[in-house]
Chain A
Amino acid sequence: MKLSPNDKIIQDKMKPGILTADGFLGTDKRNFRDIIAEDMKVTSTFERSLEDISRRMEYLMEKSFLSYDSSIVVDGKYEVEYNSYRGVLLSPFPKAGRFGKATIKVTNMKNHFSVMWTPLHVHFIRDYGFFEGKGSKFRIEPEILYKAIFD
């Protein structure tokens, strides 16, 4: 997919060393629009929407935030480890605001699927369906995320 001038600005901000040390694209050679389009083919097969997915991620984050940077079991099924850091992260997308620096690791104790995300990913997924490029340290595989937080 061809990038618009505004998209090119976003693509540039996703490169390493602009907003985070390694950026959001990993080793993926595709542009972010193509990455989103490809992942949408997967997420469109889900029974739940991107809004549902991001709301679920928020729910697990909120439940674990007061865990003093430790792990807790939510709803008897999800082990959630919340580690927060000082400072904020900016989104490469326009007018998105700022997000706390944290990592949230969720392990589904029933099926043992495990994923890790940051508060920025909730916005990425809800507003853009962006799960980061392949090879990125924080790339989320949509199927694994879905299985980890819903099954």
Chain B
Amino acid sequence: MNYLKIINEILILAGISGVLSTLIVVAKAILQNYGDCEIDINGKRKVTVKGGSSLLTSLAEESIFVPSACGGRGSCGACKCTVIEGGGPILPTEKPFFTAKELAENNRLACQVKVKNNIKIEIPEEIFNIRKFKSKVAKIEDYTYDIKGLTFDLISPSEIDFKAGQYVQLRSPKYAKVRESVTRAYSISSKPSLKNQLQLIIRRVPEGICTSWVHDFLKEGQDVEITGPYGDFFIRDTKADIIFVAGGSGKAPIKSMLEDLAEKGCDRKMSYFFGARTTKDLYLTEYIESFSKVFPDFTYYPVLSHAEPEENWQGKTGFVMPYFPEAIRDPKNTEAYLCGSPGMIAAVTKGLKDLGVPEDKIYYDSFA
């Protein structure tokens, strides 16, 4: 008898739980059904999306790819846009990414704004040039023990338009223990005129989800999703002298810039400093040095900070900064293009400013 009573009570409880769960699902469907929402972009283009997703996702579904280096987690701050109307209150997750002025100008992170009603936004026009590409890995080369060069054939669309110095985002799939697909930004190392291929240079990051996939799992012939181009790191069209400074995989956008300038012709004075620890960290050295035969005034300075005696390194040693004075003839008329780790960017920026290079002429990737 007691057993029957227990079973009966369990069934009643299960029934109540079932009804409550159904009610929650129904309520969610009704309350969170925002219907169709219109996104007005720059007052020029309107798209209709199903409400409920983030602005970033909703735009991506319309093939409008706002930059996002973290895949919409609210951690990179790359998806900044102006929301003029309908974005709701700013979230605590967004505030750290903006100055008071930017907040007053209605800047928001597209990944944190949920589309619940009609919304008016402003985004840079260049974003309309960003595409999602299906690509295939054509070639993987080992440049150093922790840096690989990758060449991708673009399948669909089959061509890309970009400025030398810009970057793309690579999507790594679920693999091994990794349960989520992630998106990470990498500078393009190939020249813009090579429209049906893209080359990237990728350094392994300890514990990095995407770089571990690239270094340990990605094979030639494999399909890869790429979006881009992104970024405003490109050579300014002036007559000023140029100083390039790179470290590690930061050689990628500089290589693209040099190849582009070589095709277009350039008579500006150019000095290129590449900082590395030992000779094991050097790569593409002869190739970069060969630009001295292409340009009238180009010098490449590889500098090693930790060269061992047995390496028999005859070149420059220490940090790159002490060698800047021999390359900079007029600091006020010098533009600097930097690409590398945040530590390198910080140290080099300080060194250049100390020498009198104007801060507004020091350019580097914003996604570092």
- Nearest Cβ in chain A — how far from B82, in angstroms? 22
A88 contacts B343, C-beta separation under 8 Å: no
Within residues 79 to 104 of chain A, which ones have a CB less than 8 A from any CB in chain B? 82-90, 95, 97-98, 100-103
Interface segment, B53-61, B131-139, B174-182, B326-334?
B174-182
**Chain A: CB-nearest residue to B247:** A69
At the interface, yes or no: B290 with Cβ under 8 Å from chain A?
no
Q: A66: which of B275, B277, B341, B343 is its contact (CB, 8 Å)?
A: B343
Distance between Cα atoms of A83 and B306 in the complex (Å):
14
* Known A21-B177, A69-B247: A87·B184 in contact at CB below 8 Å: yes
B365, closest chain A residue (CB): A86
Kindly state the separation between the CA atoms of A131 and B70 in the bound complex, as whole angstroms: 25
What 1/0 flags go to B132-172 for Cβ under 8 Å of A? 00000000000000000000000000000000000000000
- CB-CB nearest in chain A for B368: A86
Contacts A69-B247, A85-B341, A98-B75 given; indicate if A17 touches B207 (C-beta within 8 A).
no
Closest to B178 in A: A17
Cβ–Cβ < 8 Å partners of B275 in chain A: 68-69
Cβ-neighbour of B344 out of A68, A95, A100, A138 (below 8 A): A68
Interface pair A21/B341, CB less than 8 Å apart: no
A102 touches B343 (CB 8 A): yes
**A88-B76, A138-B207 in contact; A69/B177 too (CB < 8 A)?**
no
Interface pair B209/A20, CB less than 8 Å apart: yes
Rounded to whole angstroms, the CA-CA distance of A97 and B93 in the bound complex is: 8
The residue of chain B having its C-beta at the shortest distance from the C-beta of A82 within the complex is B343
Count of B interface residues, CB-CB < 8 Å: 43
Is the C-beta of B208 less than 8 angstroms from some C-beta in chain A? Answer: yes
Q: Hey, which chain A residues are within 8 Å of B341, CB to CB? A: 69, 83-86, 102
Bound together, the chains give a CA A126 to CA B187 distance in angstroms of: 35
Residue from the list B75, B176, B203, B319 in contact with A17, Cβ < 8 A: B176
Q: Which residue of B203, B206, B207, B342 has the most chain A CB atoms within 10 A of its CB atom? A: B207
Q: A21-B177, A68-B348 are in contact. Are A103 and B342 (CB under 8 A)?
A: no
Complex contact A70–B73 (CB within 8 A):
no
Task: Verify if A18 is at the interface (C-beta below 8 Å from B).
Answer: yes
Q: 23 A-B contacts, Cβ less than 8 Å apart?
A: A16-B178, A17-B179, A17-B180, A20-B207, A20-B209, A21-B177, A65-B346, A66-B346, A68-B320, A68-B344, A69-B343, A70-B277, A70-B319, A82-B343, A85-B205, A85-B341, A87-B76, A88-B75, A88-B76, A95-B93, A101-B208, A102-B343, A138-B207
Q: Which residues of A contact B (CB under 8 A)?
A: 15-18, 20-23, 65-70, 82-90, 95, 97-98, 100-103, 137-138
Given A68-B348, A86-B205, A100-B342, 13 new contacts (CB under 8 A): A15-B177, A17-B178, A21-B207, A65-B343, A66-B346, A66-B347, A68-B344, A69-B340, A85-B208, A85-B341, A86-B367, A95-B93, A102-B342
Q: Which residues of B contact A (CB under 8 A)?
A: 69-70, 73, 75-76, 92-93, 96, 174, 176-180, 184-185, 203, 205-209, 212, 247, 275, 277, 305-306, 319-321, 340-344, 346-348, 350, 365, 367-368
